Amino acid sequence: MKLGILRLPILAAAAAFLFAAAAHAADPTGGWQWTTKRGDREIKSTLTLSWKDGQLTGSLKSRKNETAIAAGTFKDGVVAFTVTREMRDQTMTFTYSGKLDGDTIKGTVVMPGWDGGDPVTRDWIATRIKADAVPPPPAAGN
């Protein structure tokens, strides 16, 4: 009987730990990276997301440009947002959507066609940047 009484707090603590771990795994907050091939070039993209109080915000950096995301949502494990950029004298809005699965977001991006052409849909797979992969800030005075 005494052993049974001890199991209850242990099971409750284990359940709380698993619930907290699952909640963190379902949080898109953090840095994400992926590489896109364009011909013989590879373009590295870095997405920074923050999920707080029901709002998804962040920015997307690709090449030398960093742009704030807009219309960010996170519902039922799906991350969605748009990015609007000026390219070759055209304003273009890219629509991203992807399913969060642990340390991966896998989805599609819809890009407008050039000069009013048909939109193009491409796959994208981002992986979470691990916290220990981010270099620490420089020490004060350096």
- Tell me if 56 is assigned to some domain: yes
Show the tokens assigned to 122.
């491409």
pLDDT tens for residues 102-123?
999 999 999 998 888 899 999 9
- Tell me if 95 is assigned to some domain: yes
Burial 108-125 (b: 16+ CB within 10 A, else e): ebebbeeeeeeeeeeebe
pLDDT tens for residues 67-103?
999 999 999 999 999 999 988 888 999 999 999 999 9
The number of distinct structural domains making up the chain is: 1
- Tell me if 8 is assigned to some domain: no
Mean pLDDT across the chain, nearest whole number? Answer: 83
- Tell me if 77 is assigned to some domain: yes
pLDDT value for 137: 59
Residue 17 pLDDT greater than 90, yes or no: no
- Tell me if 141 is assigned to some domain: no
Whole-prediction pTM: 0.74
pLDDT value for 75: 97
- Tell me if 123 is assigned to some domain: yes
Structural domain of 68: 28-130
Residue 121: CATH number of its domain? 2.40.128.30
